[in-house]
């Protein structure tokens, strides 16, 4: 019996790009910055798709833009760890070649998604963490920076406030990743938590899918904690024979349900992405009381998005134009 990998479909495909910039109760005074951030990410990524570029290049460009934007919990401006540092996780996956690259707990890279791309292209391995990931990136031409360059005063204040509430034993509207987990019963309020992780999914003219997700993780997390965002099949996944997905939200429940893969499997089994996106978020809440948001794109260009948080910053670019919003 002969086996072969499907590299791409033969038919010409209208390109599609979806991005998200986190799912939570985005306050009024942060709404414009979130919409502007997802819009410029869309513009950067869709320009690549329009001139015949790959889905992988498009998601990398879109996520790079959002890592550079301090509005989001990715790259500079990310939430701080319990000890006041920025620790970043990122993954990207090429659904045509079935290649993936991920980094976690990196502290000295401005754009972890670009390091993830280097892992995908240049390494026989798939995932690097900490100092090893930074050294791999350095050896492949990336500049290592001081962690303080990624830290904003806004985030120092946010961390201090969270830790003061924690010390006072107050019920917090900010889920602290410092704790390992919460039961569904105690998770109320988690939907109010800032979840500003960024992600993108794309379908290119050659019919290939790709996905990328990048995050600073949860506020006040214990150093070394890795969430769903950079784990294959959890916060990010792409396979031409199924779908491309990126998630945001409370990472621990998403990881335990391997929710990205769950959603793409449902598309592969024939469910419309629109339905599968809603079902995935429904499953997240029903099974573990989790909150979050999802963008999901099928190989035929149909897509869906859903969130059970009050808002999700999203954007979609197709031949019909660019759209952004704060409610799916
Ligand atoms: N899912 C991310 C994490 O748990 C957080 C987020 O989406 O903002 O690390």
pLDDT (tens, 9 = 90+) of the chain, 328 residues, equals: 444 444 444 457 899 999 999 998 898 999 999 999 999 999 999 999 999 999 999 999 999 999 999 999 999 999 999 999 999 999 999 999 999 999 999 999 999 999 999 999 999 999 999 999 999 999 999 999 999 999 999 999 999 999 999 899 875 544 433 333 444 433 444 445 678 899 999 999 999 999 999 999 999 999 999 999 999 999 999 999 999 999 999 999 999 999 999 999 999 999 999 999 999 999 999 999 999 999 999 999 999 999 999 999 999 999 999 999 998 8
Distance CA 98, CA 85 (A): 33
Distance CA 192, CA 71 (A): 17
Measure 101 CA to ligand 1 centroid, in angstroms: 18
Residue 227 CA: nearest ligand 1 atom is 9
pTM: 0.92
Identify the pLDDT of residue 299. 98
Per the residue annotation, which of 71, 197, 248, 309 is the catalytic one?
Answer: 197
Separation in Å, CA 253 to CA 93, 224, 285, 291, 309: 22, 18, 9, 8, 15
CB of 229 closer than 6 A to ligand 1?
yes
CB of 249 closer than 6 A to ligand 1?
yes
CB of 197 closer than 6 A to ligand 1?
yes
Pocket test for ligand 1, best of 23, 219, 228 (most atoms within 8 A of CB): 228
CB of 230 closer than 6 A to ligand 1?
no
CATH architecture of 4-325: 4-Layer Sandwich (3.60)
Residue 24 CA: nearest ligand 1 atom is 8
Which residues pair with residue 93 across a beta bridge?
100, 211
Residue whose Cα lies nearest atom 9 of ligand 1: it is 217
Identify the pLDDT of residue 177. 37
Place of tokens 């704060």: 326
Separation in Å, CA 277 to CA 114, 208, 293: 27, 20, 9
Helix axes 112-122, 130-139, angle to 10 degrees: 70
Give me 30's structure tokens: 């942060």
Rounded to the nearest 5°, which phi and psi values hold at 271? -75, 140
Residue 106: enclosing H or E segment and its boundaries?
A: strand 99-106
Identify the pLDDT of residue 328. 82
Residue 78, judged by CB atoms within 10 A of its CB (0-12, 13-18, 19+), counts as: buried
Identify the pLDDT of residue 12. 75
Measure 230 CA to ligand 1 centroid, in angstroms: 10
User: Helix/strand/coil (H, E, C) string of 227-284?
Assistant: CCCCCECCCEEECCCCCEEEEEECHHHHHHCCHHHHHHHHHHCCCCHHHHHHHHHHHH
Domain positions in the chain: 4-325
Identify the pLDDT of residue 11. 58
Q: Per-residue DSSP letters for 287-313? A: HH---EEEEEE-TTS-EEEEESSSEEE
CB of 215 closer than 6 A to ligand 1?
yes
Distance CA 228, CA 251 (A): 5
**Does 197 participate in catalysis according to the annotation?**
yes
CB of 35 closer than 6 A to ligand 1?
no
CB of 81 closer than 6 A to ligand 1?
no
Residue whose Cα lies nearest atom 8 of ligand 1: it is 195
Identify the pLDDT of residue 178. 32
CB of 21 closer than 6 A to ligand 1?
no
Separation in Å, CA 117 to CA 128, 192, 239: 12, 32, 16
Measure 52 CA to ligand 1 centroid, in angstroms: 32
């Amino acid at each position: 019996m002969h086996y072969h990998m499907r590299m791409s479909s033969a038919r010409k495909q209208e390109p599609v790009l979806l991005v998200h910039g986190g799912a939570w109760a985005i306050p009024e005074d942060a709404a414009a910055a979130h919409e502007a951030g997802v819009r410029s990410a869309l513009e950067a990524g869709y320009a690549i798709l329009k001139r015949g570029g790959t889905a992988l290049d498009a998601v990398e460009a879109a996520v790079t833009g959002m890592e550079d934007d301090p509005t989001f919990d990715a790259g500079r401006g990310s939430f701080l760890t319990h000890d006041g540092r920025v620790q970043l996780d990122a993954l990207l996956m090429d659904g045509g070649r079935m290649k993936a690259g991920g980094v976690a707990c990196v502290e000295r890279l401005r754009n972890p998604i670009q390091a993830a791309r280097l892992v995908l292209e240049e390494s026989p391995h798939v995932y690097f963490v900490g100092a090893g990931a930074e050294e791999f990136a350095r050896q492949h031409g990336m500049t290592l920076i001081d962690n303080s360059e990624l830290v904003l005063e806004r985030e120092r204040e946010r961390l201090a406030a969270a830790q003061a509430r924690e010390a006072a034993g107050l019920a917090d509207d900010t889920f602290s990743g410092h704790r390992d987990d919460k039961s569904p019963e105690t998770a109320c309020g988690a939907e109010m938590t800032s979840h500003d992780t960024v992600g993108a999914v794309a379908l290119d003219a050659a019919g290939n899918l790709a996905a990328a997700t990048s995050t600073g993780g949860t506020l006040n997390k214990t150093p070394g904690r890795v969430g769903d965002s950079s784990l294959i099949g959890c916060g990010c996944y792409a396979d031409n024979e199924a779908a491309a997905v990126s998630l945001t939200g409370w990472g621990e429940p998403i990881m335990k349900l391997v929710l990205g893969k769950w959603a793409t499997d449902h598309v592969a089994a024939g469910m419309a992405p629109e339905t599968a996106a809603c079902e995935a978020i429904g499953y997240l809440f029903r099974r573990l009381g989790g909150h979050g948001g999802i963008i999901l794109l099928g190989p035929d260009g149909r897509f869906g998005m859903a969130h059970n948080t009050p808002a999700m910053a999203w954007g979609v670019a197709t031949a019909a134009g660019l759209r952004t919003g704060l409610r799916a």
